[in-house]
Chains A and B, each alone.
Chain A
Amino acid sequence: MSTTNTEAGDAPSPASTELMAPAVGAPRRRRAFWGLVAKRLAFIPLALFAVITISFLLVSIMPGDPALAILGSTANEQEVATVRSQLGLDRPLAERYVTYVGGVLQGDFGRSFFTGQPIRDEIVKYLPASIELVVMAILLAALVGISIGTLAGYCRGRAPDKAVRVVIAGLEAIPGFLAGLLLIFAFFYLWRLVPSPTGRLGIVNIYPPTVTHFLLIDLILAGDWNGLRSTLHRSMLPVLTLALAAIPLFAKITRTTVGGAMGSKQIQYARACGLSEWRVVQYALLQARTPILTYTAMLFGAMVGGSAIIETIFSWQGLGQWGLKAIVALDIPAIQGFVIVTGFCTMLVYLVLDLVVAALDPRIQHG
């Protein structure tokens, strides 16, 4: 298809949004939107309660004795019984459930079986690190994935599309932890471009005073630019590793939606108006917005906690690494806290997503 590449200054109104314009008037739409917000917010306590219950049941019903895990298999029955009563495991399930839910609602997740630390403090300490990692990785993955996905969708069936599809298929077939190890080998061992994969801050750097628990923000607040540079330098490989796993997802969804949009009536109209191809691609991306946002939210939910293995490889000291350690050690209060926090994070992200999509997409009717 041949299109003229003239810049159309006389067609400023976005053709695609006008074609999709809803039949409902704007004020009614706005009122319906806030109704949706209220409805979704009211749903939160219920969902939170469900998450707490699931996390309690998941750990309590499963076989496997934490007392045995703490003592080791050489312990005799007497010792096991003592530890079980210390942990409160000898009480009936219903009683433990009520105590637990009551505690969680007051922000008390219990104490770790092993370190004796309150679980809440540990979550507050580790969750920000995970969020920083996931946000950086998703931003990078979105940038790269949407770019190559748009390229492939625009050039559907031609050489760039095929190249992108090969890249997607290749990235999808590499387990994240393997990608991490290969990157360590190349960037740390071969080329010495990054420091060793041990933690977030170099040995010579000192941790900034804790204000927000987000290391990057705390470093900025403390004005420690050397520390910030060191942290960002050490973040490169973990962020890249995690992003590599997310790039295929972004690329695939963008390729499909942009590819589909390129054949749509809106795009035909935009081209018929003589808009530049650059503009046309922008309109195609506008149509791809909702699916891409949906995927971002799904990924975010899966990655908080799902980044556990990557965090462990790079000693990131995030929530995932902490949760993984807790699971392997059968540290029940920690596992429960971990499940609740990851579940709740996912819920929050989905909520924000729903509202953003509802606010952006005029095709969605509220109410």
Chain B
Amino acid sequence: MASLLLSAAPMRRHVGLVAGALFLAALLLASWFLPLPYDPIRPDATATLQPPSAQHWFGTDSVGFDVFSRTIAAAGRDLPIAFGGALAAALIGVFLGLLATTKGRGSALLMRSLDAFQAFPLLVLAIAIVTLTGNRLEMVMFAIIIIEAPRFLRLVRAEGLAIREARFIEAAEVIGAKPLRVLLVHLLPNVSGVIAVQLSIATASSLMVVAALSFLGIGVSPPDPSWGAMIQAGARQMTGGQWWVALFPGLAIFLVVVCLNLVADALDVILERSSR
């Protein structure tokens, strides 16, 4: 019984990884290349608030936008922002995190100021940053970096400090490797696994931030489709019973986040296993 479970577990993890990654790739490719049934930025004023049907798979909203076309098209906007923001945050956070493993006084100061910084409600901070800087899309990325980079920093620092105690680091230092070389050649490869896992988690949480911001109408320019903005458009319809306007973009967010977390879980297990 136990041996059966053991052999099945890694298989299941790979299934999670493959399924999650495939869904995300399919969604992204569809948003770029799939011929959509309707123009996602041109509403049909004669067909407003249609329930889901053969013509409009996900129905239409109060302006006459086809919800299916917009849900797919929005993936091409929301996913790259979320992933790009998470990636940029990873680069910055990992770099600073590696530096912070050197046990200088600056390192402690950095961690203390991070504590203070993270005491603020981060979503509100993101909203403030984007609004105060003129509501531009690139500022959404900047806000994501500010939220996510400290998490990478903490993670890499915590992992790095543990690895720093290892003999091979000591050996490298003894034979005269420069500090930067120790960080990049010896430390970085050993934390790359946790970084990959965190990147997947950070993309999911960035997507939530992007959705929350565009739900509030921040960082979006109106006709362009975005899941958050679409849910906002459907918010008023919820009390009137037209559930489809908000549900389908919401479902898209839900599925993407689930897939990203699946990938993160699978990576976690696989990398943990191979490192042992």
Return A99 CB to nearest CB of chain B, in Å: 20
Judge whether B100 is part of the interface by a CB distance below 8 angstroms. Answer: no
Distance, CA A320 to CA B123, complexed state (A): 11
Does more than half of chain B's interface fall in helix, strand or loop, or is it mixed?
helix
Which residues of A sit under 8 angstroms from B216, Cβ to Cβ?
309, 312, 324, 328
A181 and B261 contacting across the interface, CB-CB below 8 Å:
no
6 CB < 8 A contacts A-B: A47-B116, A182-B238, A302-B121, A305-B120, A324-B216, A346-B120
Return A52 CB to nearest CB of chain B, in Å: 12
A313 and B235 contacting across the interface, CB-CB below 8 Å:
yes
Instruction: Produce 1/0 per residue, A168-185, CB < 8 A to B.
Output: 011011111110011011
Return A321 CB to nearest CB of chain B, in Å: 11
Interface residues in B208-240 by Cβ distance below 8 A to A read 208, 211-212, 215-216, 218, 228, 231, 234-235, 238-240
Among the listed B119, B131, B218, B246, which residue makes an inter-chain contact with A181, where contact means beta carbons less than 8 Å apart?
A: B246
From known contacts A313-B235, A330-B132, A346-B119, infer whether A323 and B124 are also in contact, taking CB-CB under 8 Å.
Answer: yes
Chain B residues in contact with chain A, CB under 8 A?
116, 119-124, 127-129, 131-134, 204, 208, 211-212, 215-216, 218, 228, 231, 234-235, 238-241, 243, 246-247, 250, 253-255, 257-258, 261
A301 and B119 contacting across the interface, CB-CB below 8 Å:
yes
Instruction: Produce 1/0 per residue, A113-132, CB < 8 A to B.
Output: 00000000000000000000
Which residues of B sit under 8 angstroms from A173, Cβ to Cβ?
204, 253-255, 257-258, 261
Among the listed B228, B250, B253, which residue makes an inter-chain contact with A182, where contact means beta carbons less than 8 Å apart?
A: B250
- Determine the residue in chain B with the shortest Cβ distance to A64: B132
Judge whether A164 is part of the interface by a CB distance below 8 angstroms. Answer: no
Judge whether A59 is part of the interface by a CB distance below 8 angstroms. Answer: yes
Q: How large is the interface on A (under 10, 10 to 19, 20 to 34, 35 or more residues)?
A: 35 or more
B238 and A185 contacting across the interface, CB-CB below 8 Å:
yes
Among the listed B120, B235, B246, B253, which residue makes an inter-chain contact with A343, where contact means beta carbons less than 8 Å apart?
A: B120
B261 and A305 contacting across the interface, CB-CB below 8 Å:
no
Which among B131, B204, B216, B261 has the highest number of chain A CB atoms within 10 Å? B131
- Determine the residue in chain A with the shortest Cβ distance to B213: A309
Interface residues in A250-303 by Cβ distance below 8 A to B read 301-303
A339 and B120 contacting across the interface, CB-CB below 8 Å:
yes
Given contacts A181-B246, A330-B132, 12 further A-B contacts (CB under 8 A): A58-B132, A63-B132, A175-B211, A175-B212, A175-B228, A175-B231, A181-B231, A182-B247, A301-B121, A304-B121, A324-B127, A330-B131
